[in-house]
Amino acid sequence: MAQEKKKAELKVSGMTCAMCSSTIQKALERLPGVFNAQVNLGNELASVEYDSAQVNLRDLERAVTDAGYGTVNETVIVRIGGMTCVTCQKTVTDALGHLDGVVQVSVNLSTEKAMIVYNPRMVDIAAIKKAVEAAGYEYLGLEGEDDIASKQREKDLRAKRIRIYIGFLVGGPLMILMFIHPGLSMEQVSYLSLIVSTPTFLYISHPIFSAGYHALRNKTLTMDVMYSMGIGVAYVASVLGTFHLVLTHEFMFYETAVLLATFLMLGRYLEATAKGKTS
């Protein structure tokens, strides 16, 4: 296995003499995968070079605490938007837990918050924000920054409302058109439905497909992946039916694709509204 050499700095508490620093240094060096450990009594810092494939930051801190001393970290609570299921919760937990310097992560799906214990000498809030967004979710700021979180939440709700309005305004007439189309042939109806539904469908379903893409990129199967498959199949089948590629006009579900995406967005809107009232 290839070595992954990394360096960590631990803030240590409880040292009072040179013997204390020597004890901690020996405790760290006994760990498999630790190449070098230097403990400075003056600034209470332990610098450790280690192989991350064999040992991690938690192991280093455990060695210090087992030797009878303490480590000093910082704790922050981050607001996260876009989580819809337990798999989302796990995805965020894994994304944050893989950051060098993060000691502990606890993500609460119902309150949309993550409590993070981290080493500020190895990772900062900017890196935490980047990890959340790279996983496909929204960083809504730290707890206490209510103004930022409320503005972001209202912006998100407004975008959802617009998508819902457009979805019903277009989906309703499309459904009627499929059954009542005097003077129009089925072929004309199919082309008209394609032209009208395509921009609407792409606009409404973009957040769903985006979330599904990020989930697959992180090798997880969330509900967004299932939703994407469902509405995507309905739309693709309609296109194939329009151009008689494998399928016929009997397999046109343009209005179904639009309305399904709209109802999914409505569900997300109601969920986000409810969470906003309880947070």
Q: Which residue in 136, 138, 175, 174 sits closest to 159, CA to CA?
A: 138
pLDDT at 2: 56
Portions of the chain given CATH number 3.30.70.100:
5-71, 74-144
Cα distances (Å, whole numbers) of residue 33 to 29, 30, 38:
9, 9, 15
pLDDT at 160: 95
**What is the SS3 assignment for 178?**
helix
**What is the SS3 assignment for 103?**
strand
* Fold adopted by 74-144: Alpha-Beta Plaits (3.30.70)
- Per-10-residue mean pLDDT, the chain, length 279: 78 89 92 92 90 89 91 92 89 92 92 93 93 90 75 87 97 92 89 96 95 87 91 96 89 94 95 76
Q: 3-state SS of 190-203?
A: HHHHHHHHHHHHHH
- Rounded to an integer, what distance in angstroms lies between the CA atom of residue 113 and that of residue 130? 16
Instruction: Enter the tokens of residue 91.
Output: 């995805």
* Fold adopted by 5-71: Alpha-Beta Plaits (3.30.70)
Instruction: Enter the tokens of residue 115.
Output: 């409590």
